[in-house]
Structure 1
Amino acid sequence: MTALHAPPTAPVHGWAFGTDGPVRTIPNVITAVRLIACVALAIPAILSGSTMFTLASIAVYWIGDILDGEAARRLRQETRRGAVFDIVADRISSTVVIAALVQLRPTMAVPLALFLIQFDILDCALSLSFLRWPLLSINYFHLVHRGVYRWNWSPPAKAANTAGLVLLVAFGPSPVYATVFVVAVIAMKVVSLWAVCRIPRWSGPARPADVD
């Protein structure tokens, strides 16, 4: 199986020219397994309100999301198809996990619902925007816009945007704190989308220039 990579003459890895790459890769298998496992654990959590199943579904989602990305990079099997599959799998997983969390913390329904709308609509559109350029995935969006990458997909941003809500839902004394957090994230996503829409779409054979 041949992964997508920038041409040997390209000075920076992350550009993808040519086909979208193979479908049958180890990272895609990991993504499929973690998606099925997360849904399988979240369904009984939703039906029974089980804390154990809810935590297990969250753990499978997060750990699996880390593993498929690491496998893609280490095995050099990063593909655009795999990146899209990962984004879609994240939305399905987050939907069932949020539904399970609502069962456990019904008082947090408003911030959880707002987060789901933000993640499944705004963040999904933002994440898929990498397809406008010949990038391997959103992990290389810094080649197009460093600020948008830093706000949304750098390791600290990823951790803060997801773990922050879970911690506020699990330990926050009031839904107000979680709601304020989600509204702030929504504002950041809207600004990021606006910034991305202002960047000219790549339309030539040459490697696009970096944009600050």
Structure 2
Amino acid sequence: MTGPRGPIVNVPNLITTVRTVVAVWLGVLAIVGDSAVLTAAAIGCYWVGDILDGLVARLLGQETRVGAVYDIVCDRVCCLVVVAALILQLPSMGVPLGIFLAQFVLVDLLLSLSFLRWPVLSPNYFHLVHPQVYRYNWSPAAKALNTGGLVVLVAAAPSPVYPVVFALTIAAMKIVSIVVVARLPLALTVPGVRTAVS
């Protein structure tokens, strides 16, 4: 089977599938068993798998637009279950986690899929379209901070105040990024590519 710029059935997509199934299963077990250990395992599986599928895709030359969309959707599936488990473990952090969930599953999903407007393989190449939007959303540091930062704050902060401020700040940045991206011309020239993809 083939999709845009490559096969649909490949090693990175298999890793995405496995990490999603395992992370969701661990997350469900964490919710049913009210287990902090299983919650941590689900988060770890989600994060490690998310790093691994992208790394393998680049190393094997198996990056595809279909794979990028699949990865983005699977991230949201994992996130929904993991955040539900976290809220069960840390009910006092329900507000910041709820803000993050709405931002990640709705706002960030729209922003992440916006790469499809241009002929780039994934958000990882959005620096070819808009360097600043890429820097604040998909650079390695931004990706680590945008999700990992909240989890660390939720686990370490004595009250939900700091996590709420952090979650609202990230949400505001994502909204501003959507506005910026929406104003970019579709015919934007991307180095090495002649025509834009609608």
Same fold (TM over 0.5): yes
Q: 1:51 aligns with which of 36, 57, 60?
A: 36
**Which residue is 1:7 aligned to?**
none
How far apart are residue 179 of structure 1 and its match? 0.3
Identity %: 55
How far apart are residue 206 of structure 1 and its match? 1.7
List aligned pairs for 1:107-146, cutoff 5 A: 107-146=92-131
Deviation per CA, 1:130-166: give whole Å up to 9, x if none.
0000110000000000000000000110111111100
List aligned pairs for 1:29-108, cutoff 5 A: 29-108=14-93
**Which residue is 2:180 aligned to?**
195
Tell me the C-alpha RMSD between the 2 structures: 1.7
Matched, 1:23 2:8: yes
Which range moves more in the overlay, 193-202 or 26-35?
Answer: 193-202
TM-score (norm. length: structure 2):
0.93
Preserved CA contact (<8 Å) 2:23 2:78 = yes
Q: What one-letter code is carried by the residue in structure 2 that aligns with 1:39?
A: V
In 2, the alpha carbon distance for the partners of 1:88 and 1:202 equals: 26
In 2, the alpha carbon distance for the partners of 1:164 and 1:49 equals: 23
How far apart are residue 201 of structure 1 and its match? 1.1
Matched, 1:206 2:194: yes
Give unpaired runs (5+ residues) of structure 1.
Answer: 5-18
Q: Which segments of structure 1 move beyond 4 Å, counting only runs of 4 or more?
A: none
**Which residue is 2:164 aligned to?**
179
How many equivalent pairs are there? Answer: 193
TM-score (norm. length: structure 1):
0.87
Give unpaired runs (5+ residues) of structure 2.
Answer: none
Preserved CA contact (<8 Å) 1:38 1:58 = yes
